[in-house]
């Protein structure tokens, strides 16, 4: 799916937990997330902490969209 969006000419960032799968399906900009059942959250945290975590991750995804890449790139911390 990520590939078809990219192929259509729209820059796309893939936020996902299982980075190897993301690499396999051909994503070029990848931001690793927390866990499969809650990629952009963590029920163990307080509501505020969880919100900050999500904002940090999505912020990283926006940064990835602004970053030129040659090939598959994983945007870790």
Give me the residues that bind another protein (CB under 8 A), please. Answer: 1-18, 20-22, 24-29, 33, 35-41, 43, 50-51, 54-55, 57-59, 61-62, 65-73
Measured distance CA(62)–CA(46) in Å, rounded:
24
Establish how many alpha carbons lie within 13 A of residue 77's alpha carbon, considering only the half-sphere containing its beta carbon.
4
The label of the residue with tokens 């000419």 reads 9
Q: At closest approach, how far in Å is the CB of 10 from another protein?
A: 5
Q: At closest approach, how far in Å is the CB of 30 from another protein?
A: 10
Other CB atoms within 10 Å distance of the CB of residue 13: 22
Other CB atoms within 10 Å distance of the CB of residue 61: 18
């Amino acid at each position: 799916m990520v590939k078809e969006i990219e192929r259509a000419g729209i820059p796309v960032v893939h936020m996902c937990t299982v980075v190897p799968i993301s690499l396999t399906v051909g994503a070029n900009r990848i931001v690793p997330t927390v866990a499969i059942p809650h990629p952009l959250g963590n029920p163990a945290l307080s509501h505020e902490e969880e919100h900050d975590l999500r904002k940090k991750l999505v912020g990283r995804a926006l940064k990835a969209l602004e970053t030129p890449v040659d090939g598959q790139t994983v945007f870790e911390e």
